[in-house]
């Protein structure tokens, strides 16, 4: 843990007010630092607050209390449209449910973040195709999501997450819906991204997936239970 | 994002759901074409009413003896009305002698036309009679008292079984008249068969049939245009009042008053049709809104994805608004095509006449309704918070 933290959470809580009386405390006070180039796995049982944490890290949601600094800037002070730009430039998302835009080709899906960034069409196409080749989908540029297997869809989603060259990649159970072969393929892509210096936060509840990361943060009931460097790395 | 990118994304959205887009476009098409066709039908029926009024002759004034008035019109009165200085708005003056009730004979056939008119050649122009065969008699025929006659098709049918009678002669009141022309069919003007006529030089008719004592039956006056019809009426009235030293022994009947009543009623008809059509456009517009609302709801996750990867609110708003406008404008274009094609056919006995304003109006309204009815769903999509949109099932 050196340098400047990419992610710095201080005592972050998130409450969902379901009804007047019922309040769910999804995060009860989470503090953590994630540095440039870290490969972090977040583990925890279902309902422990993993997804909530990732949404906050990705500026899709905001904390009820506490401070979140991304690259040294408190995100609470950023207006919504600038947050959209920030997500576009700094963060790449991979979701458990793939979340590709339906009835739109793999290439067009991967182009989308570049479109919103205002990159000209020709450059966009070239970069999207390159990103798809990186994840081994160079042969499937013009397939629609419905014509792709789960593992292939998730690789398209990974290509979309990395096409803008974001410093931070957030993945919420990216292998949760995949068989072991596809899981290995996607994890290989992450490993290469990690080796290339990207910061990766990967949520999972599978031990062997977490074992590929440098560091494991365990959540339970909205609190950080443990934060350990991986045995393999520690040893 | 550039307008081109937004347009591309919106087109993708329209194309991604062809059936739904198609049905919405259909709704819009029906609305737009209904406006165009119904207004064309209204317009067409108005044209027909006007044409039948015009077939009486356009911009015509009729000078007659008032009921109970004792006045005799002469050729001199007719000449006075043709005076360019006193009556600058008068274009043509035709003296008319009615010889109704005379029997025509041709060989073994005899016939009594419902209208036998002694007049001058200008009368044919004023009353819009065209000739289908032969020619109208000339001013020289009038001045030389030549016994020539132009017959209407109904008369020709009765006397000559429809064969071309030009060059033949008919006996009228025992005097032989040479047939020089046959008028083209004008049909009925609603009250009388305008083809059941015979036209002859006024001088010949007075020589051979009516005599000179009773003078002219009436004088038909044509104004220079519809706009100066009232002015012409005033001039005619003033000249005759002076000449006859009496204002109530004669009357000047103005044809535009008849036309106004008829036009007003067809205008009401057109307006009613237009209103019905406008309602169908409104329904089409609500269809667009409905589809866009469904589309926004169904694509909530997509909106969430787009926002997660960097779409601003304005990008989402522009995308959905453009989709709505593309759909409605496309419906507008097909509606204009269907409307124009549909207006080529006779509908309910009326020949539709497309009104340019209805095409522009219907197309403009379709685009505007896309904008108007797309705004609410697009705004809803844009305002959605990314995380809520992503979680949406
Ligand atoms: N939108 C929401 N409204 C109410 N409660 C929610 C909402 N999202 C998550 N929760 C609750 O917050 C807790 C943490 O949820 P989540 O972060 O999705 O957990 P995980 O991803 O670890 O399974 C759960 O108890 C869940 O029921
Ligand atoms: Mg989760």
Closest-CA residue, ligand 1 atom 26, reads A47
Please give the average per-residue pLDDT across B292-321, as a whole number: 88
Whole-number pLDDT of residue A113: 95
* B302 near A CB under 8 A: yes
Contacts of B367 (CB under 8 A, 6+ apart): B325, B328, B329, B332
- Domain ranges for chain B: 3-52+261-391, 72-245
Which atom of ligand 1 is found nearest the CA of A45?
22
Q: Does A158 fall in a domain?
A: yes
Average pLDDT over residues B231-246: 87
Asked whether residue A132 is assigned to any structural domain, the reply reads yes
The answer to the question of residue A68 being in a domain is: no
- Positions in chain A short of pLDDT 50: 1-2, 234-235
Q: Among the atoms of ligand 1, which is closest to the Cα of residue A173?
A: 21
C-beta A18 within 6 A of ligand 1 = yes
Please report whether residue A95 resides in a domain. Answer: yes
Tokens for A40? 């972090």
Torsion of CA A97, A101, A105, A109, to 10 degrees: -90
The pLDDT assigned to B285 comes to 77
Model confidence at B174, pLDDT cuts 50, 70, 90, reads confident
Is the minimum CB–CB distance between B313 and chain A shorter than 8 Å? yes
Total beta-carbon pairs less than 8 A apart between chain A and chain B: 64
In a domain, A126, yes or no: yes
ipTM higher than threshold 0.95: no
Cα(A63)–Cα(A8) distance, integer angstroms: 13
Higher pLDDT, B304 or A235: B304
The alpha carbon torsion through B331, B336, B337, B339 (nearest 10 deg) reads 110
Summary mean pLDDT of chain B: 85
Q: Which residues form the domain of A114?
A: 36-61+81-234
Test site for ligand 1: of A12, A15, A16, A220, most ligand atoms within 8 A of the Cβ: A16
CA of A37 to the centre of ligand 2 (A): 24
Nearest CA to ligand 1 atom 4: A16
For chain A, say whether B309 makes contact (Cβ under 8 Å): yes
Q: Which helix (H) or strand (E) holds A203?
A: strand A199-203
Chain B environment of A160 (Cβ under 8 Å): 309
Q: Mapping DSSP to helix (H, G, I), strand (E, B) and coil, where does residue B110 land? A: strand
Domain membership of residue A2 (yes or no) is no
What is the C-alpha separation between A137 and A131, in angstroms, rounded?
9
Q: What is the pLDDT of residue A1?
A: 45
A74 found inside a domain: no
Residue B187 has pLDDT above 80, yes or no: no
At B246, the pLDDT band (50, 70, 90 cuts) reads: confident
**CB of B374 closer than 8 Å to CB of B285:** no
Q: What is the CATH number of the domain that holds A190?
A: 3.40.50.300
Q: Would you say how long chain A is, in residues?
A: 235
Which percentage of chain B shows pLDDT scores above 70?
95
Specify the number of domains making up chain A: 1
- Quick one: pLDDT at residue B106? 87
pLDDT band at B369 (very low <50, low <70, confident <90, very high): confident
């Amino acid at each position: 843990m050196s340098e400047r933290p990419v992610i710095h959470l201080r005592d972050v809580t998130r409450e969902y007010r379901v009804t007047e009386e019922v309040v769910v405390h999804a995060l009860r006070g989470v503090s953590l630092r994630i540095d440039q180039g870290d490969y972090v796995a977040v583990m925890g049982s279902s309902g422990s607050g993993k997804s909530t944490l990732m949404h906050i890290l990705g500026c899709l949601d905001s904390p009820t209390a506490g401070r979140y600094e991304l690259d040294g800037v408190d995100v609470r002070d950023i207006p919504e449209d600038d947050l959209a730009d920030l997500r576009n430039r700094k963060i790449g998302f991979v979701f458990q449910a793939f979340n590709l835009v339906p009835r739109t080709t793999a290439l067009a899906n991967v182009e989308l973040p570049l479109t919103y960034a205002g990159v000209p069409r020709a450059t966009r196409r070239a970069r999207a195709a390159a990103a798809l080749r990186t994840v081994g989908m160079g042969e499937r540029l013009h397939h629609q999501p419905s014509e792709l297997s789960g593992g292939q869809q998730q690789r398209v989603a990974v290509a979309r997450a990395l096409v803008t060259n974001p410093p931070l990649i957030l993945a919420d159970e990216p292998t949760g819906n995949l068989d072991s072969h596809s899981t290995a393929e996607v994890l290989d892509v992450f490993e290469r991204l990690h080796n290339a210096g990207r910061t990766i936060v990967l949520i999972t509840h599978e031990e062997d997936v977490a074992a590929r990361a440098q560091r494991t943060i365990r959540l339970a009931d909205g609190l950080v239970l443990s934060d350990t460097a991986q045995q393999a790395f520690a040893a | 994002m550039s307008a081109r990118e937004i347009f591309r994304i919106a087109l993708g959205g329209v194309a991604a759901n062809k059936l739904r887009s198609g049905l919405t476009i259909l709704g819009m098409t029906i609305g737009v074409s209904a406006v165009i066709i119904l207004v064309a039908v209204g317009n067409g029926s108005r044209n027909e009413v006007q044409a039948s009024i015009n077939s009486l002759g356009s911009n015509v004034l009729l000078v007659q003896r008032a009921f109970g008035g004792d006045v005799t019109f002469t050729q001199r009165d007719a000449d006075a009305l043709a005076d360019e200085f006193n009556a600058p708005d008068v274009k043509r003056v035709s003296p008319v002698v009615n010889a109704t009730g005379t029997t025509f004979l041709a060989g073994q056939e005899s016939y009594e036309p419902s209208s036998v008119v002694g007049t001058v050649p200008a009368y044919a122009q004023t009353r819009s009679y065209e000739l289908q065969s032969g020619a109208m008699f000339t001013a020289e025929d009038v001045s030389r008292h030549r016994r020539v006659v132009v017959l209407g098709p109904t008369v020709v049918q009765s006397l000559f079984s429809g064969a071309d009678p030009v060059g033949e002669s008919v006996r009228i009141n025992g005097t032989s008249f040479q047939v020089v022309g046959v008028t083209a069919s004008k049909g009925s003007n609603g009250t009388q068969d305008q083809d059941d006529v015979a036209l002859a030089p006024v001088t010949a008719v007075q020589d051979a049939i009516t005599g000179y004592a009773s003078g002219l039956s009436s004088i038909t006056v044509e104004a220079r245009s519809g706009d100066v019809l009232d002015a012409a009426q005033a001039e005619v009235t003033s000249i005759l009042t002076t000449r006859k030293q009496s204002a109530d022994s004669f009357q000047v009947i103005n044809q535009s008053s008849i036309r106004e009543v008829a036009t007003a009623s067809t205008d009401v008809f057109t307006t009613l049709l237009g209103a019905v059509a406008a309602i169908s456009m409104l329904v089409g517009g609500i269809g667009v809104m409905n589809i866009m609302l469904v589309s926004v709801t169904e694509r909530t996750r997509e909106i969430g994805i787009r926002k997660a990867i960097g779409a601003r609110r304005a990008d989402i708003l522009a995308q959905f608004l453009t989709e709505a406008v593309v759909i409605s404008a496309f419906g507008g274009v097909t509606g204009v095509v269907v409307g124009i094609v549909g207006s080529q056919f006779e509908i309910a006995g009326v020949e539709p006449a497309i009104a340019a304003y209805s095409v522009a109006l219907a197309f403009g309204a379709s685009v505007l309704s896309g904008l108007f009815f797309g705004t609410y769903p697009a705004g809803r999509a844009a305002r959605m918070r990314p995380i809520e949109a992503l979680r949406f099932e």
